Structures are given as structure tokens and as C-alpha cells.
Amino acid sequence: MRTRTLTLTAAAGAAILAAAVLPTTASGAAAPKSAQEGTVSAADLLAKVTSCSQISNGKYKTDDETSATVPVCGKNGAVFWKADMDVDCDGQVTAKCNGDTDPWFQDDTAFHQSDGRPLRADSLPYVVVPSASGIWKYSGSGIKGGGVVAVIYNNKVEYAVVGDTGPTKIIGEASYATAKALGIDPDPATGGADSGVTYILFKNSQVSPIESHSAAVSLGESLAKQFIRNN
């Protein structure tokens, strides 16, 4: 739920399917393994998002100082965008995510674990969606907290959940754990990726409990296969 007034310095070192709910008792506390996750390849998913049918009323910036160039695109059963990745460390205070490691740290997330606590960015892969605005309202496209996202970078697929909301005019942000699993520098102050990240958000999907990464992977692979069949 951050509003960044500063920008990341990554350049200096260089997100029709029926409603789906998959219950599980897994805690999701362990850090995710390095992608590739599941059996659906990055190439097969990317082949379905080569063109954009824009559903947003405008385009988003990837950082405060950039031009607005990123549309939200619609497909059967999903929405997607192609952007950068800023690293979100918001949520529970941990050794990796806190006010000292992250200049923009906030100790809350828009969506919470089943026990009511904020999400844990350093162990749970999650994606940040722009807060509702005149550009786009994510809930109007069937996207909700805990929804499944296939995040693709450098020929790897990582399944994540919709875990937080961000600025109304900026897009392209995911948790520390998402970045790390994809081989992206997860440092919230200096890490991230400048470009080349594809976020495919599956409509009307929801992982329960939201903190279970294993549930996100299982449901995500099933929805990814449907997405490829239906597009």
C-alpha cells in the first residue's frame, strides 16, 4: 500500500476462468524455490500475450519520472501487463524487510494472512496492483486479493498472489520473494528489474489461505494450462 515519492535506483546497478478457490493448510512460511515452477513453460505463456487488447482507460508509468507507456491488456480468463519490477518489502517486519532495509517500508499490506497479520514479503511471492482509479479498477476485471499471478522473467515462471495495492499511476511491482525466485536482485532500495517482466493475472481466482505459496503454485499451473487452451 505504499506511495513511492522516490524512485528505485535499479538502473545504477544495472504482476473465461470460473471462480477458483483452492483451500490448503500449508503455512507458506518457507521461502520459495527458484523458478521455473510447474510444467507450463514461459515460452508457452508468452506466446499468448504477444498482442494487447487494452482494457485500461489509459497507461501507467513504471516509476515516478517515466512516461506512461504500460497498458493493462485483456485476454480470455486473464489480464496482463509488461513492465519493470520494483521490489515491495511491505508487510511483516523481518530481517530482510524493515525500515532500515527499505526506504519506503510500510508494516502493512492491502490483503492479510488468514490469521489477520500482514503478508510477509521476504517469503511469500506476491504482486502489487495499482489502486483503483480512472485508469483502471482491478476489481472490475475480476482481480481480487489472493488472486493468482504468473510472473515471467528471463524464461522463468513464478506463481504469486495479488497481495498489495500501490500508487494509482504506477505499475510493475512485486514482493522480495518474487524477485528472488526469478533471479532478480531483491534489495528493496537498489534491486529490481528495469524491464522484461510479464504479469498474467488470472480472473476470478483466489488462493486460500493467501499465504500458502504451494497452493498458489498448484492453482496457478491449472489456470495457466486453461489460459493456454482458451487463447
- Ordered by start, the domain boundaries in the chain are 10-230
This prediction's pTM:
0.87
Q: Which CATH number fits domain 10-230: 2.40.50.100, 3.40.605.10, 2.40.40.10, 3.30.300.350?
A: 2.40.40.10
Three cell numbers at 61?
508509468
What does the block give as the cell for 11?
A: 538502473
Is 127's pLDDT higher than 60? yes
pLDDT tens-digit series, residues 43-102: 999 999 999 999 999 999 999 999 999 999 999 999 999 999 999 999 999 999 999 999
Q: What is the mean pLDDT of the chain?
A: 89
List, as one string, the DSSP characters of the chain.
----SS---GGGG------EEEE------SPPPPSP-SSS-HHHHHTT-SS--B-SSS-BBSSTTS---B--EEETTEEEEEEEEEEE--SS--SSSSTTT-TT--S--SSB-TTSPBP-TTTS-EEEEEPS-SS--GGGGT--TT-EEEEEETTEEEEEEEEEEE-SSB--EEEHHHHHHTT----TTT-SEEEEEEEEEETTEEEESTT-HHHHHHHHHHHHHHHHHH-
Q: Give the pLDDT confidence of 146-156 residue by residue, as tens digits.
A: 999 999 999 99
